[in-house]
Structure 1
Amino acid sequence: MAVINRFDDPESERNYIVAERAARIPATRALILIGIATFLSYITMNPMYFPREGVIAYTIAAGVFIAVLVAYYLLTQTRFYLEQRWVDLVLFTGLTAAMLMLIDALGDQAAITGISRFGMAIINMGILVIFASVGFIANARLFMIWAFTLLLLYVAFLAQADRSLIQKTYTLTNFSTFFVFSAFVNWDIDRRARKVFAANIALEAERQKTEELLYNVLPQTVAKRLRDGKAVADSFSDVSVVFVDIVGFSKLAQQLSPGHLVKLLNQFFSIADSCAERHSIEKVKTIGDAYLAVSGGTASSGQGALAAVNFGRDLIAEMKQRAEASGVDIKLRIGIHTGPVVGGVVGSSRLAYDYWGDTMNIASRIEGVADHNGIAVSSATYFECGSAHDFERAETLALKGVGETEIYRLKMTQASLAVTED
């Protein structure tokens, strides 16, 4: 394990620094306010015990310390503090200078406090390194630099102190305990925070994968409503429903091996998905060898019936090209009807956004009377398309479960079969 933890990816390291420093701002501010309150209480009490000169010296030193703490507090409200870790080093260098002034001021009052400058140094420096261990946030490297520098200064202070070797040794041992404990606290806080950050990144990546998977099954707006615990039920007054079916699929199933058949179906559905995306058609589901889509529903933004017909025309054109390349004669029938539908999500497992209504049934029946590699539409779809496409004259056919219905067949000329982009 590395002594100083760091993410290999520079971007992850930067994101961790900003996130961790931002997360710990409330605690940092609370610690700063505690420090300011402590100094203010001493400034208030000192006149009762210290002579005038001692009060002035302590107040000046405490004032410098408080000023640095106030600057520290104000910096935590800026983006600069979040992004620039080196500011911690500057702040704690200032606090170190202020603490040295405090030690000097208190040392002059040893006769009153009963604590020598020697004792004041170990107490106050110990408090400072503990404070710094939580003040250097996402900043273990710079904390170590600051703490080792402070340790060297303390060793220099001991070297010139008028004390015996045994006193100096024990004092250094005591301060080293503060130093080691504070270094461990800073390192361990950073180590744990990095683990949490890495776990959150992994969790977010999994959440995005789950959402992408969910959005492949459900429209984004629908998925959001489900996450919010809302019932999903919608009414649409003008939706073009497209039914696509492979002609003679049962015969193909007898001629082809299971593996080849599945491969062929996958190619068909993949081409249909591509055409649906190109024309902003919403895929609803596949039913055996059939493909169901709508134009004008929850997740489709195509131009209604026109987009539905364009989708069907391009799907037939692409499947013709694939049939020629594969040598397997695949023909499609496509039926389109425009009318009102109800959409929604039902059940609690294998969720899918589905559509219901007579419009669905009529589109299915129209598909059954379409020509091979042909598109048949209802009068509602025909009139919505206007003059954008060339249809044959209307036929009146008796559709099972529907009754007599006017049907229009798209003229499947070579020009009309050219793949287009809406």
Structure 2
Amino acid sequence: MAAFAPRFADPETERAFLSEERAQRGRAIRALIVIAVATLGSYILINPMHFPRAGVTAYAAAAAVLGAMMIGFFLLTQTRLYQERPAIDLPVFVLLALGMGWLSQVLADLAPFTGFPPHVMVMVQLGILVVFASVGFAGTFRLFLVWATVLLGLAIIWMMTRPGVPDISRVYTLTNFSTFWIFALYFNWDVERRAREVFTANLALAAEKAKTEELLYNVLPQEVAARLKAGDAVADAFTDVAVVFVDLVGFSRLAKRLSPGHLVQLLNAYFSAGDRCCDRHGLEKVKTIGDAYLAVAGGMASRDADARAAVGFARDLIGELKALSEERGIALQARVGLHVGPAVGGVIGTNRLAYDYWGDTMNIAARLQSVAPPNGIAVSEAAWLQVGSMIACEPQILVLKGVGETEVYLATLESSA
């Protein structure tokens, strides 16, 4: 039974599928109900031209009750109860079967006027009901199988006990009804099977989309990623960004001594330490350039951080480099440059997207790094005005390449630990 009528192993997934399938199938069910009610109404209007008054009254009463049931089902399909309680299909179609049975009996009594044998008229009406039920049992093939099997059994009993019907007529009528029954079962089963396949594919697609978005959010700030997905150009101006530029001392000589694999491992440990320090102090990693690590405070993803957080980041990173040196037996030292000023941030290009920053503030931070002492920091005057109480040093006038004479504050940093 499980292979013939599969279900999702996870109950939550099964509930999600049924809710979605019943919400979507509800539109088709309501369309069929409109057609059915309109058909019943048309017969009520036409019958007085062909049937006696008693027959017209009997049909109108039965059709009115069945139509009211249909309208009730129409309204039910728009409720959360219908979507969340699939078992409700069974009592609904039991009632519809009783209503259709009443209407079928009325039509059987009118056989002298319609020219159709009573048993044929009954089976035609039940066949119509089974076809409608194949759409109406939404995502509940097992319930449909139970309902349809009971209906078939009752039809067989009724047909075999009907007096005055030739055996050949019984056989052919039941054969035709059974054909409707089998087609309806197959249609309901196949629709549900395909719906489950589509739902499974959509789950897989949603999972892949989530992975893609997670990767995108790891590369770009969430706000930026949302703007890119919306097709917007991403360009922002910042008036007061603290830029931290970190570079390893003597990296070129170190690269000549180490094997490529060992060198990559060392760089990975260094950059991972930088990432941890960024997270700890609320800074935003911008990128790595060779052995240099660039981060900002007060940018797109670090609006709450400032130059003081940048100094804390630099101090902790140097502390982690000291620990890494002791662990690996390789002397690692860094120089840090810190400057505060305006910058432009944004995303350009179409491949390997990243939120980058541009402007003189970035260049001056890089130049400051070049004059910082090993395991120390060079701070511009603009940055010093924000962080002066955190580091002890005296101003010096130094010549920075491409900048000229600049007042710089130099200090050796120790780990905050």
Q: Please, what TM-score do these two structures have when normalized by structure 1? A: 0.95
Aligned counterpart, 1:359? 361
2:269 and 2:116 mapped to 1: Cα distance? 87
1:330 matched to 2:332? The reply is: yes
1:94 and 1:301 mapped to 2: Cα distance? 64
2:143 and 2:194 mapped to 1: Cα distance? 18
Mean CA deviation greater in 92-101 or 316-325: 316-325
Residue 292 of structure 1 deviates from its aligned partner by 0.7
Matches within 5 A, 1:339-358: 339-358=341-360
Q: Secondary structure at the match of 1:341?
A: strand
1:147 matched to 2:148? The reply is: yes
Mean CA deviation greater in 336-345 or 223-232: 223-232
Q: Secondary structure at the match of 2:238?
A: strand
Aligned counterpart, 1:418? 416
Matches within 5 A, 1:162-181: 162=163, 163-181=165-183
2:388 and 2:253 mapped to 1: Cα distance? 38
Matches within 5 A, 1:262-341: 262-341=264-343
How much is the aligned-residue C-alpha RMSD, in angstroms?
A: 1.4
1:294 and 1:382 mapped to 2: Cα distance? 16
Residue 188 of structure 1 deviates from its aligned partner by 0.5
Mean CA deviation greater in 44-53 or 338-347: 44-53
Q: Secondary structure at the match of 2:394?
A: coil
Residue identity opposite 1:63 in structure 2: A
Alignment check: 8 A CA contact 1:320 1:331 kept: yes
2:318 and 2:62 mapped to 1: Cα distance? 86
Residue 75 of structure 1 deviates from its aligned partner by 1.1
1:73 and 1:289 mapped to 2: Cα distance? 68
Q: Deviations over 1:180-221 (max 9, x none)?
A: 000000001001111111111111111111111222222222
Aligned counterpart, 1:76? 77
In structure 2, runs of 5+ residues without a counterpart are none
2:102 and 2:122 mapped to 1: Cα distance? 11
Residue identity opposite 2:280 in structure 1: R
Residue 386 of structure 1 deviates from its aligned partner by 5.3
Q: Secondary structure at the match of 1:300?
A: coil
1:120 matched to 2:121? The reply is: yes
Q: Count matched residues.
A: 415
Alignment check: 8 A CA contact 1:279 1:302 kept: no
2:126 and 2:96 mapped to 1: Cα distance? 10
Q: Deviations over 1:265-316 (max 9, x none)?
A: 0111111111112222111111011111111111123421111111111111
1:329 and 1:161 mapped to 2: Cα distance? 101
Residue 50 of structure 1 deviates from its aligned partner by 1.9
1:108 and 1:358 mapped to 2: Cα distance? 96
Residue 115 of structure 1 deviates from its aligned partner by 1.4
Mean CA deviation greater in 109-118 or 22-31: 22-31
Q: Deviations over 1:168-188 (max 9, x none)?
A: 111111111000000000001
Aligned counterpart, 2:105? 104
Aligned counterpart, 2:407? 406
Percent identity between the aligned chains? 55
2:388 and 2:166 mapped to 1: Cα distance? 106
1:310 and 1:302 mapped to 2: Cα distance? 14
Aligned counterpart, 2:377? 375
Q: Secondary structure at the match of 2:116?
A: coil
Q: Secondary structure at the match of 1:154?
A: helix
Q: Secondary structure at the match of 1:24?
A: helix
Residue 402 of structure 1 deviates from its aligned partner by 0.8
1:273 and 1:259 mapped to 2: Cα distance? 21
2:398 and 2:183 mapped to 1: Cα distance? 89
Q: Secondary structure at the match of 1:297?
A: coil
> Structure 2 vs 1, CA of residues 157 and 95 (structure 1 numbering), >3 Å: closer, same or farther?
same
Residue identity opposite 1:341 in structure 2: A
1:67 matched to 2:65? The reply is: no
Q: Secondary structure at the match of 1:80?
A: helix
Matches within 5 A, 1:29-68: 29-68=30-69
Residue identity opposite 2:288 in structure 1: T
Residue identity opposite 2:392 in structure 1: F
Alignment check: 8 A CA contact 2:312 2:416 kept: no
Residue 410 of structure 1 deviates from its aligned partner by 4.1
1:261 matched to 2:263? The reply is: yes
Aligned counterpart, 1:13? 14
2:101 and 2:28 mapped to 1: Cα distance? 26
Q: Secondary structure at the match of 1:238?
A: strand
Residue 101 of structure 1 deviates from its aligned partner by 0.3
Residue identity opposite 2:151 in structure 1: L
Residue identity opposite 2:335 in structure 1: R
2:219 and 2:49 mapped to 1: Cα distance? 76
Residue 230 of structure 1 deviates from its aligned partner by 1.6
Residue identity opposite 1:258 in structure 2: P
Residue 411 of structure 1 deviates from its aligned partner by 5.1
In structure 1, runs of 5+ residues without a counterpart are none
Mean CA deviation greater in 75-84 or 20-29: 20-29
